Amino acid sequence: MTLLAFFFFFDTMDAAMLGYTAPALRAEWGLSISTIGLLSSTTFVGMMIGAVVGGRLADRVGRRPIILGSVVFYSAFSLATGLAPNVTSLGVYRALTGLGLQAMIGVLLVFVSEMYPKHLRGRYQALLLGFGCIGIPVVAGLASFLIPMGPGMWRWVFAIGSVGIIGTLVGMRTLPESVRWQVDNGRAAEAEGLVDKLEAEARQKTGKELPEVVVTEPVPAGRVSDLFTRKYLGRLITLSVCMSCFVLINYGFNGWVATLLMERGLSQEQSMHAAFIMSLASALGAFLVYPIIDRFERRVVGSVCMALVAALLTLFAFSDNATVTVLSGFLLTALLFAALSVLYTYAPEVFPTNLRGFGAGIANGTGRVAGLAQGFVVAAIFTSFGFSSVFLYLAACALVFASSLGLFGVKTSNRSLEEV
């Protein structure tokens, strides 16, 4: 759990870096809003590829090697981004960083869903996301502290993001392979050994005997084409729509809020401080959903959170009061990441083991296609219609998420993966 939280922290931190360094890049290299949008979109090209390829490879070669390999990959290119000599190379390095980021996070979510018990996996996903989201205010704080020191200090923000590679040294010794993946791929003896070890640890720590084993019917191995059959296609579409809407809102708001507040008349320092305060809510939102994510049906919790996000985005769009602007931004960020805890728990639950990485990867990849477009969409809406219109568009995305998950999501809370 500690190792996974460490990986999640640096993944979230790296993903947020461009948004908080964008004002400095604009000032130092004379970049336009459209160019910042293009840079943001190149990251999503890599994320789109990483989600699908990483998920498929995880189904074929295992969860463990993809998690560890992806951390090395994105850490190396985060460091390269800090050394980029021009905007073109920076864009290429961000695309490659995005590939590693999304490959890792998608497979990590699958790993947690397969290795934690059904009545707790939602809470563990929420904890992981909460610890991971601490990376957002950390990178915001780093940017607000380092960048004012002078030209080129934004490079250190990306360099610090590469420190996550240290976790792979620990992971090579301590991170096991998923038991479900081992069983599904003819490695039952290894899976049995790991389960015996985990059971022995549980008996030693609790001093109690474990409950009787509940035998479930195995789910037959499926083919890739099964994802497009009646049983799984609806799940894939619903999940893809929700992923797309979340990415549009998250990166449309958190990735642009500092830059757009500057365009509204705030100084660079004021806009970055406001963005930092709002970013603190991301971890809070993930932790706040902890008590209810396994108690109530996930689709209900997620849809209610996103309906409230839509209302707060509308308030943010029209507020002229600085306090109301920051408070509404803080609350909507908290609720947005509460909904993300639900979505991250739900995504791997709705596919069979041998297609879990690929199915969740396709949905994640579809979301990143939306992310590819969001940089251009936000820039176009802002240029044509102004500040308020950007946030009304994001509110509409939140309503689409809420209605899709609430109406078409399946029941997953407190059900075994085989039963779902």
Q: pTM here?
A: 0.86
Mean pLDDT (whole number) for 251-267 = 71
Residue 407 reports pLDDT greater than 90: yes
Mean pLDDT for the stretch of residues 173-185: 93
Dihedral sign (CA 176, 177, 183, 185)? negative
pLDDT-derived band at 245, boundaries 50, 70, 90: very high
pLDDT band at 361 (very low <50, low <70, confident <90, very high): very high
**pLDDT tens readout for residues 271-293:** 777 777 777 888 889 898 999 99
Q: How confident is the model at residue 62 (pLDDT cuts 50, 70, 90)?
A: very high
| 255 pLDDT tier (thresholds 50, 70, 90) | low
Instruction: Over range 401-413, report the average pLDDT.
Output: 94
Q: What is the pLDDT of residue 401?
A: 97
pLDDT for the residue 375 = 66
Arithmetic mean of pLDDT, 15-31: 84
What is the structure's pLDDT at 387? Answer: 72
HEC profile of the chain:
CHHHHHHHHHHHHHHHHHHHHHHHHHHHHCCCHHHHHHHHHHHHHHHHHHHHHHHHHHHHHCHHHHHHHHHHHHHHHHHHHHCCCCHHHHHHHHHHHHHHHHHHHHHHHHHHHHHCCCCCHHHHHHHHHHHHHCHHHHHHHHHHHHHHHCCCCHHHHHHHHHHHHHHHHHHHHHCCCCHHHHHHCCCHHHHHHHHHHHHHHHHHHHCCCCCCCCCCCCCCCCCHHHHHCHHHHHHHHHHHHHHHHHHHHHHHHCCCHHHHHHHCCCCHHHHHHHHHHHHHHHHHHHHHCCCCCCCCCHHHHHHHHHHHHHHHHHHHHHCCCHHHHHHHHHHHHHHHHHHHHHHHHHHHHCCCHHHHHHHHHHHHHHHHHHHHHHHHHHHHHHHHHCHHHHHHHHHHHHHHHHHHHHHHCCCCCCCCCCCC
261 vs 391 pLDDT, higher one: 391
Lowest mean pLDDT among 305-309, 374-378, 413-417: 374-378
For residue 263, the model assigns a pLDDT of: 65
Amino acid in the structure at residue 223: R
pLDDT at position 381 is 84
- pLDDT in the model for residue 265: 67
CA–CA distance from 40 to each of 32, 91, 281, 295 (Å)? 13, 8, 22, 37
Nearest-angstrom CA–CA distance, 238 and 119: 23
CB 376 within 8 A of CB 73: no
The share of the chain scoring above pLDDT 90, in percent, equals: 52
pLDDT band, very low/low/confident/very high, at 92 (cuts 50, 70, 90): very high
Question: What's residue 276's pLDDT?
Answer: 75
Q: What is the mean pLDDT of residues 23-42?
A: 82
- Residue 60 pLDDT grade (very low, low, confident, very high; cuts 50, 70, 90): very high
pLDDT for the residue 127? 92
